């Protein structure tokens, strides 16, 4: 499993077909986004062998409509989607983001 760059259309398809999608909204000019990128790459490497989980990155400068649709106003923003719907959002403060997202995923994997 890896952190994959996708456009809005590809992200929509993943939201429709995956149980859990961890979506990183970022921009090239966003310095804190780089730390989130590193954290999500480490986390996606830890959570292997789960076909229903995807880690994706959406560049907001290239996909402004998708970012607007999901109310992304600040960077970095990570949204955890469960069955196509927003379950939780981490925006701005990236302290402990790996642990927070890992706990969310474990919780969701145990949900019906």
Q: How sure is the predictor about 26, in pLDDT bands with cuts at 50, 70 and 90? A: very high
pLDDT tens digits along 82-102: 999 999 999 987 888 999 999
Q: How sure is the predictor about 1, in pLDDT bands with cuts at 50, 70 and 90? A: low
Active site residues: 30, 33
Query: What's the pTM?
Result: 0.93
Whether the predicted pLDDT of 42 surpasses 70: yes
Contact 79, 25 (CB under 8 A): yes
pLDDT of residue 62: 97
Domain boundaries in the chain?
3-109
Phi-psi region of 6 (alpha: psi -120 to 50; beta: other; left: phi over 0): beta
> Stretch 31-59: mean pLDDT, rounded?
88
What percent of the chain has a predicted confidence (pLDDT) above 90? 77
Alpha helix positions (H), 1-110: 8-17, 31-46, 64-69, 97-109
pLDDT tens digits along 7-18: 999 999 999 999
**What's the CATH fold of domain 3-109?**
Glutaredoxin (3.40.30)
């Amino acid at each position: 499993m890896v952190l994959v760059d996708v456009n809005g259309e590809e992200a929509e398809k993943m939201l429709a077909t995956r149980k859990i999608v961890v979506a990183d909204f970022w921009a090239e000019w966003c310095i804190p986004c780089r730390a989130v990128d590193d954290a999500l790459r480490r986390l996606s490497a830890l959570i292997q062998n789960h076909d229903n989980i995807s880690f994706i990155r959406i560049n907001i400068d290239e996909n402004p409509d998708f970012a607007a649709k999901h109310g992304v106003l600040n960077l970095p923003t990570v949204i955890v989607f469960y069955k196509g719907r927003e379950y939780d959002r981490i925006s701005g403060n990236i302290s402990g983001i790996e642990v927070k997202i890992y706990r969310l995923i474990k919780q969701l994997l145990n949900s019906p």
